[in-house]
Chain A
Amino acid sequence: MLSVKNVEKSFPIISGNGPLLALHKLSFTMKAGEFTCLIGPSGSGKTTLINLIAGFLQPTRGTILLQGRSIQGPGPDRGVVFQEAALFPWFTALQNVAFGLANQGYKGRRAREKALSFLSLVGLKEYASAYPHQLSGGMKQRVALARVLALEPRLLLLDEPFGSLDSQTRQVLQEVILSLCLGEKTVLFITHDVEEAVVLADRILVFGPRPGRIVGDFQIDIPRPRREYPGAVETWESRLRSYLGCNNGDQKYLERGVML
């Protein structure tokens, strides 16, 4: 489905130390239908990776293939939900969802009906004519999710989508995303929150500190719904936490230890 091979990304930075290396020889693959969470310290290049797969940035070296094709700029086959909702404030919730559909050639009533059905899917049918500034943070992220799901993307990229929400809203939205995506969509989900990753993911990739590279790859085998197995979740959580903790800083250990 997705294959990332020896990808490197550096940014020209005016710091005197030359370019900043954000990603270093990054390689991994994702299977279709897999829900993958990416965790790692902040500044480790997680967002850079999403921006590369989304096509907002070009890799300095290496290749990213989606179903065997290299990525040429952004497109609706890779739906992105950003950290801040990035809804268009001049459109209503419905128009925000219909915008992408119109780009795909849906017109008039067909676009409206399809947009409305996706708004209902995220539970916001009643708010179709509300403007984004009238919606709460959680509602905005629901609209942001609806507008990419409506395009039926092959790959869903979520960049800490619930990072700024309170924990209750967060749990509700985790359920929403699981019910809509699990087994149906290929998902790459970035999070800071180890518990969130354990609750959501089939597989967790762990990023080491900058330059970003994968230092751990885990299949999470807890049955779903995972919140019904708090013990198992906690075990995984502390395992990942200590993993993140002991790996912070000690570069040599990382390179000898758990490189893939």
Chain B
Amino acid sequence: MDNGFWLEGSPWANTQEGPSQTLGQRIIPCLVLLAAWQGLALLVLLLRGISFPTPLETLLQLGRLLAGSPLLGSSIYLHLGASLGRWLLAFTLAALLGMGIGILTAWLPGLDSLLTPLLVLLQPVPSLAWIPIAILLLGLGYTSTVSIIFLAAFFPIAVNTNGGIKNVNPLYIRAARMLGAKNRRLLCQVALPAALPQILSGLRIGLANGWRALIAAEMVAGTGSGLGYAIYQSRWSLDYTSAFVCISLIALIGLGAERFIFSFIEDRTIKSWGITIREDKE
């Protein structure tokens, strides 16, 4: 799956020692994007004679919606809250279970040979492909939406945690055992911190996958609320400006989650330890 959107332009994608971006360097891509959007809107109007929401119209509509104007019969806050709620619940479950399974399989060779081939086999299944299975098993609605997000986030987290722990530099394990460390301290104080770059990378991929799967699942699994649902319904309501509001919110939330949550964690852990970040695996 493609993670370009989430990783490009993030300082982690580059080397750690690189100069920090200036304000101008941060703003220019946004301006380019807005200008392209504006140009596209004008082009569509000129060539097809259809009104295409411009950045300004979208911003004004965002203001109206935030001020309480209803979207598909409920407030934007309800849609936003519904999406965020599903995402957080599913991601939390996926993070706990994914890291748990990843740690267990990496630590217990018997379990590893049993479960890891299964993880590796199922990981490439696109999250959208789980939709019919989830609907068959759980019906339409909340539970199946959450399960789809869960599955989208779970596999990269489990596989990266497993790989991260198995790839720990054997010198650290030797040193720790020489210093008298046994199972629990060996795992918690040596293997886990050493594997943290790859675990974080798995979490970041899981978060992004989950967010994308959420939007898709809301479109298909008949939730009756949420940003994805609102975008999809604009086919019938013809309220494309509101759909653009939802798309912008999705982009901003995705970006915010990565920037704020992950940069916060990484600044306090691997960056201050001077560990270089490994390549993302999916």
Residues of A within 8 A of B (CB): 54-56, 73-76, 78-80, 82, 84, 86, 88-90, 99-100, 102-104, 131-134, 147-148, 151
Complex CA gap A133/B193 in Å reads 15
With A86-B171, A88-B193 already in contact, the answer to whether A99 and B273 are too (CB < 8 A) is no
The interface residues of chain A lying within 8 Å CB-to-CB of B174 are: 54, 56, 74, 80, 82, 86
- Nearest CB in chain B to that of A56: its residue: B174
Within 8 A of A (CB), among B166-224: 171-172, 174-182, 185, 189-190, 193-194, 196
Complex CA gap A76/B185 in Å reads 15
The interface residues of chain B lying within 8 Å CB-to-CB of A76 are: 178-180
Determine whether the beta carbon of A90 is less than 8 Å from that of B185.
no
- Which interface residue of A55, A79, A86 has the most chain B CB atoms within 10 A? A86
With A102-B185, A103-B185, A131-B273 already in contact, the answer to whether A86 and B175 are too (CB < 8 A) is yes
The interface residues of chain B lying within 8 Å CB-to-CB of A103 are: 179-182, 185
Determine whether the beta carbon of B179 is less than 8 Å from that of A89.
no
Apart from A76-B180, A89-B273, A133-B275, 5 more pairs, CB < 8 Å: A80-B175, A88-B175, A103-B179, A131-B273, A132-B274
Give which listed residue, B175, B190, B194, contacts A82 with CB less than 8 A: B175
With A80-B175, A102-B185 already in contact, the answer to whether A90 and B273 are too (CB < 8 A) is yes
- Nearest CB in chain A to that of B178: its residue: A74
Give which listed residue, A88, A134, A148, contacts B190 with CB less than 8 A: A88
The interface residues of chain B lying within 8 Å CB-to-CB of A131 are: 272-274
Determine whether the beta carbon of B179 is less than 8 Å from that of A151.
yes
Give which listed residue, A84, A90, A148, contacts B171 with CB less than 8 A: A84
Determine whether the beta carbon of B273 is less than 8 Å from that of A133.
yes
Complex CA gap A196/B168 in Å reads 33
Within 8 A of A (CB), among B233-282: 269, 272-275
The interface residues of chain A lying within 8 Å CB-to-CB of B172 are: 86, 88
The interface residues of chain B lying within 8 Å CB-to-CB of A100 are: 179-181
The interface residues of chain B lying within 8 Å CB-to-CB of A88 are: 172, 175-176, 189-190, 193-194
Determine whether the beta carbon of B181 is less than 8 Å from that of A99.
yes
- Nearest CB in chain A to that of B196: its residue: A90
Determine whether the beta carbon of B178 is less than 8 Å from that of A79.
yes
Complex CA gap A39/B190 in Å reads 33
The interface residues of chain A lying within 8 Å CB-to-CB of B178 are: 54-56, 74-76, 78-80, 148
Determine whether the beta carbon of B179 is less than 8 Å from that of A90.
no
User: Nearest Cβ in chain A — how far from B13, in angstroms?
Assistant: 21
The interface residues of chain A lying within 8 Å CB-to-CB of B176 are: 88, 99
The interface residues of chain B lying within 8 Å CB-to-CB of A151 are: 179-180
Complex CA gap A131/B268 in Å reads 13
User: Nearest Cβ in chain A — how far from B167, in angstroms?
Assistant: 15
Determine whether the beta carbon of B189 is less than 8 Å from that of A99.
yes
Contacts A/B (CB < 8 Å), 6 sampled: A76-B178, A82-B171, A86-B174, A88-B175, A90-B275, A103-B185
Complex CA gap A80/B190 in Å reads 17
User: Nearest Cβ in chain B — how far from A216, in angstroms?
Assistant: 29
The interface residues of chain A lying within 8 Å CB-to-CB of B194 are: 88, 90
With A82-B171, A90-B193 already in contact, the answer to whether A133 and B179 are too (CB < 8 A) is no
Within 8 A of A (CB), among B147-181: 171-172, 174-181
Complex CA gap A142/B275 in Å reads 21
User: Nearest Cβ in chain A — how far from B199, in angstroms?
Assistant: 13
The interface residues of chain A lying within 8 Å CB-to-CB of B273 are: 89-90, 131, 133
Complex CA gap A99/B176 in Å reads 8
- Which interface residue of B175, B269, B273, B275 has the most chain A CB atoms within 10 A? B175
The interface residues of chain B lying within 8 Å CB-to-CB of A75 are: 177-178, 180
The interface residues of chain A lying within 8 Å CB-to-CB of B193 are: 88, 90
Complex CA gap A172/B179 in Å reads 25
User: Nearest Cβ in chain B — how far from A229, in angstroms?
Assistant: 36
The interface residues of chain A lying within 8 Å CB-to-CB of B185 are: 102-103
Determine whether the beta carbon of A134 is less than 8 Å from that of B180.
no
- Nearest CB in chain B to that of A79: its residue: B178
Complex CA gap A105/B275 in Å reads 29
The interface residues of chain A lying within 8 Å CB-to-CB of B179 are: 76, 99-100, 103, 147-148, 151
